Structure 1
Amino acid sequence: MDNDCLFCRIAAGEIPAAVVHETDTTLAFRDIDPKAPVHVLVIPKAHHPDVAAIATADPKAAADLLAAVAAVAEAEGLLADGYRLIFNSGVNGGQEVFHVHAHVVGGKPLGPMVAR
């Protein structure tokens, strides 16, 4: 755990979140500034700064993260009409919290881009 990391603190239960799915290795919770009717963040409980880092350091954790994304999409009723999965990576990629996280976004037609 990185004590300065917001998502590590959420995973540790130090900061409350609207949790929608949890496994031994992952946590999914509602985004506090949703861009669509469904906007859930899915994180590994272990700290990895970005998607490349988790894929390299712990491929099983990366697979667990994707399995959690699939479970969230199903539980949120997104499978029939589709959803967007977003990994922002690095400053130029729009990453704001440097703990790898997937945005599961859906519940309405999203068009070619998600508005910021």
Structure 2
Amino acid sequence: MAITLTEAAARHVTRYLGRRGKGVGVRLGVKTTGCSGLAYKLEYADDIAPEDVIFEGHGVKVLVDPKSLPYLDGTELDFVREGLNEGFKFHNPREKDRCGCGESFRV
């Protein structure tokens, strides 16, 4: 099982954690919500929980709880700029469908 980051995502996280002055990486998970059933949740992590599964790419740690891992296996986290918008994108090979509003997905 693996979660990866692009160089752009790692740069963004590193810059943000530097400005923030604390943090060990990002926490990635899923929650039940929306039209299709699951939504990604991403937050900056200040500590590592004992149950966290840790992945590292380009010097950045990605922490994933064991319950979310089966839905996220193989996911690549990217940070993109599209016009005036910028943000994280999830490239998840397990994703079968995404709702029209873009908030949730199904595996």
Q: One fold, TM greater than 0.5?
A: no
Greater percentage in strand: 2
Greater percentage in helix: 1
After TM superposition, the score normalised by the length of structure 2 is 0.32
